[in-house]
């Protein structure tokens, strides 16, 4: 068995990063693994209800937390956790890229992820023409042609308005019929081409996206495009740990008020948990709670020395 870390933090959105801050301040060893840095906040152009910042871009909040973390020598791994298992009292964490890590405690902060279509080319061109966030990435497509695939998106009108005002041409495949479609089309009829009953089959390109292959009414059509926006909503994926902890009917990890799960040594924080109100400040607060509970666990079970300056249990 290689190095055993005190805590493994899974997911580096605001919940996971806050947990890392609390853990590193106590000088325990951590391994922090995330698919990306920042999570959902990176896709939010303006947050008006995060205390102490005033209206701010989500990415600015993350930048500030990272600066804090760097003071404590924060290091992280960009990868996806595929499975957590138990080997005696220790947790083994296996990743998609084939790495294994070991830790005494785990903090799950894997939040929510955009729903993928699962078509050929989607993963390959992620960040090179494929985007899951219109508001974040539409400005990169000024004067270009794009394909927009919408789902039950609460911001449908905002997204299509942004695309129609920035891009030259918008092909639009709605996956769900919505009352507002007719109204939006009327407003932007010069720019938008509605492709009802159509299905994206493949995304093609070279270094960037160049083409979308779609099927409509039994016919295969090739669209010359520069980008594909897919907004089908978000989902919680706990398959990496659902065999170890209790999951509720919404697929969330069930936690108590101390962010403890049904398994000793596993804690959870943020949007992935059963607690209500999916908000940035709440996710950050739970990240702190999960970290403090993990520290308490390490100190009781393994005698790990922690300075009880930040809290009193
Ligand atoms: C459009 C939109 C607008 C919003 N507006 C606001 C607002 O105005 N105010 C507000 O307070 N909140 C807002 N929110 C909610 C807020 O963004 C979230 O509550 C908060 O960001 C959740 O943080 P988190 O760390 O729990 O999860 P996330 O931000 O989802 O981070 C989790 C991270 O874990 C990664 N991950 C998932 N599975 C794995 C795995 N197996 N291995 C490794 N990494 C993994 C994910 O890719 C992600 O990077 C908004 C959300 C959206 C989508």
Residue pLDDT, tens place only, 255-300: 999 999 999 999 999 999 999 999 999 999 999 999 999 999 999 9
Residue 307 covered by a domain: no
pLDDT tens digits for 291-313?
A: 999 999 999 999 988 876 555 55
User: For residue 91, what pLDDT is reported?
Assistant: 98
Q: Indicate whether residue 33 lines ligand 1 (CB < 6 A).
A: yes
pTM: 0.81
Q: Is 273 in the pocket of ligand 1 (CB under 6 A)?
A: no
Q: Could you identify the atom of ligand 1 that is nearest to the CA of residue 110?
A: 34
State whether the beta carbon of 10 lies less than 6 angstroms from ligand 1.
yes
Q: Is residue 140 part of a domain?
A: yes
Residues 227, 241: one domain? no
Q: Are residues 212 and 156 in the same domain?
A: yes
Any domain includes 198: yes
Q: Which helix (H) or strand (E) holds 23?
A: helix 14-25
Quote the CA–CA distance of 17 and 15 in Å, as a whole number.
Answer: 6
pLDDT tens-digit profile of 168-224? 999 999 998 877 788 888 888 899 999 999 999 999 999 999 999 999 999 999 999
Q: Which atom of ligand 1 is nearest to the CA of 135?
A: 1
- Which of the pair, 67 or 46, is modelled with greater confidence? 67
Residue 234 pLDDT level (bands cut at 50, 70, 90) = confident
pLDDT digits (tens, 9 = 90+) for 127-170: 789 988 887 788 889 999 999 999 886 678 888 999 999 999 99
- Beta carbon of 112 within 6 Å of any ligand 1 atom: yes
The answer to whether position 311 is within a domain reads no
Whether residues 260 and 213 share a domain: the answer is: no
Look at residue 247 in the predicted model and tell me its pLDDT.
98
Q: What CATH number does the domain containing 144 carry?
A: 3.50.50.60
* Domains held by the chain: number: 2
Regarding the beta carbon of 15 and ligand 1, being less than 6 Å apart is answered yes
In a domain, 42, yes or no: yes
Residues 135 and 89 in one domain: no
Q: How far is the CA of 273 from the centre of ligand 1 (A)?
A: 12
Q: From start to end of the chain, where are the E strands?
A: 4-12, 30-37, 77-78, 81-87, 90-95, 100-108, 113-114, 130-131, 145-150, 169-174, 192-194, 198-205, 209-216, 219-224, 227-231, 234-235, 266-268
Report whether residue 121 contacts ligand 1, using a CB cutoff of 6 Å.
no
* Mean pLDDT of the region 50-67: 95
In a domain, 123, yes or no: no
The verdict on residue 79 lying in a domain is: yes
- Residue 203's domain comprises 130-231
Whole-angstrom CA distances from 185 to 147, 167, 172, 195, 196 are: 15, 15, 10, 12, 12
User: Which of 204, 231, 258 marks a domain boundary?
Assistant: 231
Ligand 1 atom nearest 48 alpha carbon: 8
Q: Using a 6 Å cutoff on CB, does residue 107 contact ligand 1?
A: no
Residue 122 included in any domain: no
Both tokens of residue 100?
Answer: 């294994």
pLDDT score recorded for residue 191 = 94
For residue 238, name the pLDDT band (cuts at 50, 70, 90): very high
């Amino acid at each position: 068995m290689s190095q055993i870390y005190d805590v493994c933090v899974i997911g580096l959105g605001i919940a996971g990063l806050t947990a890392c801050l609390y853990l590193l301040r106590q000088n325990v060893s951590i391994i922090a693994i995330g698919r990306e840095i920042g999570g959902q906040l990176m896709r939010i152009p303006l947050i008006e209800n995060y205390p102490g910042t005033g209206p701010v871009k989500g990415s600015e909040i993350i930048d500030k937390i990272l600066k804090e973390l760097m003071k404590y020598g924060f290091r992280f791994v960009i990868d996806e956790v595929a499975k957590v298992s138990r080997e005696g009292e220790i947790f083994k964490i296996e990743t998609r890229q084939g790495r294994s890590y070991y830790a005494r405690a785990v903090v799950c902060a894997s939040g929510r992820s955009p729903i993928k279509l699962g078509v050929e080319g989607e993963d390959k061109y992620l960040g090179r023409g494929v985007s899951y966030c219109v508001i974040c990435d539409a400005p990169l497509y000024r004067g270009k042609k794009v394909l927009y695939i919408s789902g039950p998106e609460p911001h449908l009108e905002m997204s299509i308005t942004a695309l129609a005002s920035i891009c030259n041409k918008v092909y639009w495949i709605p996956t769900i019929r919505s009352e507002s479609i007719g109204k939006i089309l009327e407003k932007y009829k010069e720019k938008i081409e509605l492709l009802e009953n159509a299905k994206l089959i493949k995304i093609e390109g070279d270094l960037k996206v160049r083409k979308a292959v779609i099927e409509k009414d039994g016919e295969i059509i090739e669209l010359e495009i520069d980008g594909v926006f897919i907004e089908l909503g978000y989902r919680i994926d706990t398959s990496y740990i659902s065999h170890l902890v209790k999951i509720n009917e919404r697929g969330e990890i069930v936690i108590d008020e101390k962010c403890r799960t049904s398994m000793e040594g596993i804690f959870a924080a943020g949007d992935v948990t059963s607690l209500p109100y999916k908000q940035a400040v709440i996710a950050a607060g739970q990240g702190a709670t999960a970290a403090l509970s993990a520290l308490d666990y390490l100190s009781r079970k393994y005698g790990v020395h922690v300075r009880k300056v930040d809290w009193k249990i």
